[in-house]
Amino acid sequence: MTDRPNIPFNRASLAGRELAYMRQALERGHISGDGEFSKRCHALLERETGAGKALLTTSCTHALEMAALLLGLAPGDEVVVPSFAFVTTANAFVLRGARPAFVDIRPDTLNMDETRLEAALNDRTRAVVALHYAGVGCAMDAIMDVASRRRGLAVVEDNAHGLFGRYQGRQLGTFGAMAALSFHETKNFTCGEGGALLLNDPALFERAEILREKGTNRSRFFRGQVDKYTWVDLGSSYLPSDLLAAFLLAQLEEAATIQARRRSIWLRYFERLSPWAERAGARLPVVPAGCESAFHLFHVLLPSPEKRDALMNGLKERGILAVFHYLPLHLSPMGRSWGYRKGDFPVSEDISGRLLRLPFYNSLESADQERICGEIEDLTRSW
């Protein structure tokens, strides 16, 4: 064991006026949902992304659950989802009775393999969920062509990793009918737990407000459009506290600084580890032409699961926490209950066993990065 300070996988940090804004919310006496700071977050997200409407939620999970409600899913429907994804990416739609139709991922970006999308569609397909892994955009031109233009299917972007990333010059989260964002502690911008739903189809705006307000037309009441509000639709309580919105607004206002910092950390890893990767038979992240990364995470792909586990355990023994990522959803107990089996999606299975995520957070110091890279080199010297 090392006597040097441990390096965590993630560490939350302040970016600017978080505490001052939270104090203001308290002093004004409104800390429940949709107060001043929630509205300012909505306006900032709409302005900076170009989305038609933004609505804060208590998590990215709840944003995806709202998307499933807006799609009007019912038992017997299918939703196409990459198998290499977080459980929420499928579970939000399963909760409405839909069956996940899993597809494999590309070996380079680890995003949905757009060339396999057509084969996953059938008469029961209602939507396609595109997850922008690590903040690198999916091939949205091909996905939108196959799903939306040819089939008229809704496309939902799981943009938990990708806020302010771009594909072909366009902001991620603005291609599909809607997109889910995450402000979890591990994300570029955080309020501890939080999310947002971006809406790009004006036909969804009013119903999204109703679903988010427990199925009531409360927002119309506060705008003076009705003289009282009542229960008009399905819904739940998806509004975060304005205290969380106050914290988040301060983070979002520092987006340029935060993104520049994360870009610097990402590039330092890439430049420092490139010679090592070539010697060790490992692979660093791939960002294709036309993609601008959101710099959410940095991963390495080791030559084998055994070497991945050995490196992960070796780093832990030296006080550095590096972690694996998604286990393929089709191999989970839930996935197997729909008849999926090992070998169905070989790229997802292969990547999952070899991927290692390195520590990555806004306050990660260059000296700590150098230590991480040096330990990686030392632990793999005999390979």
| Dihedral-angle region of residue 229 (phi above 0 means left; psi in -120 to 50 means alpha; beta otherwise) | beta
pLDDT in tens, 265-295: 999 999 999 999 999 999 999 999 999 999 9
- Whether 265 and 258 have beta carbons less than 8 Å apart is answered as no
pLDDT(188) > 80: yes
Please report which helix (H) or strand (E) contains residue 157, including its range: strand 154-158
| 66-90 CB burial, b ≥16 within 10 A, e <16 | bbbbbbebeeebbbbbbbbbbebbb
Q: Label residue 129 left, alpha or beta by phi (over 0 means left) and psi (-120 to 50 means alpha).
A: beta
Q: Which fold has domain 18-253?
A: Aspartate Aminotransferase; domain 2 (3.40.640)
Which tokens sit at 76?
């017997």
Q: Could you give the dihedral angle defined by the CA atoms of residues 263, 296, 109 and 133, in that order, rounded to the nearest 10 degrees? A: -160
DSSP 132: -
3-state SS track over 29-64: CCCCCCCHHHHHHHHHHHHHHCCCEEEEECCHHHHH
Dist. CA 315–CA 322, nearest whole Å = 7
pLDDT digits (tens, 9 = 90+) for 287-334: 999 999 999 999 999 999 999 999 999 999 999 999 999 999 999 999
- Per-residue pLDDT for 370 more than 80? yes
Average pLDDT, stretch 206-222?
91
Query: Which pLDDT tens digit goes with each residue over 191-206?
Result: 999 999 999 999 999 9
Phi, psi of 158 (to 5 degrees): -85, 95
Structure-block tokens of residue 287: 């960002």
- The answer, yes or no, to whether residue 127 has pLDDT greater than 80, is yes
In the block, tokens 């972690």 appear at 323
**More reliable by pLDDT, 85 or 219:** 85
Q: What is the pLDDT of residue 312?
A: 98
In sequence order, the β-bridge partners of residue 80 are: 101, 128
| Contact predicate 177/71, CB 8 Å | no
For tokens 């999308």, name the residue: 117
Report the DSSP pairing between strands 99-103 and 53-57.
unpaired
Q: Does residue 1 register a pLDDT over 80? A: no
Task: Encode burial over 161-193: b for 16+ CB neighbours within 10 A, e otherwise.
Answer: bbbbbbbeeebbbbbbbbbbbbbbebbbbbbeb
Residue 82 confidence (pLDDT): 98
The predicted structure's pLDDT at residue 2: 52
User: CA triplet 64, 175, 102: central angle to 5 degrees?
Assistant: 50
Residue ranges of the domains in the chain?
Answer: 18-253, 255-379
Nearest Cα residue to 189 out of 225, 162, 211: 162
Report, as an integer, the average pLDDT of 2-17: 92
Structure confidence at residue 224 as a pLDDT band (50, 70, 90): confident
pLDDT of residue 3: 73
**Mean pLDDT computed over every residue of the chain:** 97
- 18-253 and 255-379 share one CATH topology? no
Query: pLDDT value at position 294?
Result: 98
Task: Write out pLDDT tens, residues 100-120.
Answer: 999 999 999 999 999 999 999
Q: What value does the mean pLDDT take over residues 377-381?
A: 98
Which H or E run includes 178?
strand 178-182
Fold of 255-379: Aspartate Aminotransferase, domain 1 (3.90.1150)
**Span 35-71, pLDDT tens digits:** 999 999 999 999 999 999 999 999 999 999 999 999 9
**Residue 318, pLDDT score:** 98
d(CA 54, CA 197): 6
Q: pLDDT category, 136, cuts 50, 70, 90?
A: very high
Q: In this model, does residue 243 exceed pLDDT 60?
A: yes
Q: For position 235, what pLDDT does the model report?
A: 94
